[in-house]
Amino acid sequence: MSIYFFPWESHHLLVSPWHFQLVLLIGALLGSVITWVRKK
C-alpha cells in the first residue's frame, strides 16, 4: 500500500484536495441516511 494512500494524508491533500472533499461528501451522505431514518 502506498504511503500516500489515504485521501487525508498531507501530501495527498496538497496534490489533489478534491479526493478528501469527495470522501467527506460520501461520509456526509452516509451519515444523512441515519438522520433521515431516525428523525422521520
Partner 1 sequence: MNMNRVQISKYELFSLIILFQWGTTIIFGFGANAGRDAWIASLISTGIGTLLILLYVLIYRLGGDRTLAEWFTYAFGKWLGAPLSWLYPLVFIYNGARIISDIRFLLPVTIMNRTPDWVIGITFLAVVVYAMSGGIEVLARIAAFTLPFLLLAIVLEMILLGASRSLHYVNLLPIVGEGWGRIWETVWPLGIMQTYGESIEFALIWGYVSQKKGLAATASFATLFAGFFIALLGLLTIAGMGEAVFQQMMYPAFALLKLSKIRFIDNLDALGIVYLVINAFIKLSMHLYAASLCIQQLTAAKKIRPVIFVVAALALLLSLTMVVSFTEHLQVAMVAVPYHLWLPLYLVLPMIVLAVLPLRNWIAGRKL
Number of residues that bind partner 1 (CB under 8 A): 26
Question: What does the alpha-carbon distance between residue 13 and residue 37 come to, in Å, rounded to a whole number?
Answer: 33
* 3-state secondary structure labels for all residues of the chain: CCCCCCCCCHHHHHHCHHHHHHHHHHHHHHHHHHHHHHCC
- Chain positions 1 to 40 lying near partner 1, rule: CB under 8 A, are 3-6, 8-11, 13-14, 17-18, 20-21, 24-25, 27-29, 31-32, 34-36, 38-39
Q: Give the binding site for partner 1 (CB under 8 A).
A: 3-6, 8-11, 13-14, 17-18, 20-21, 24-25, 27-29, 31-32, 34-36, 38-39
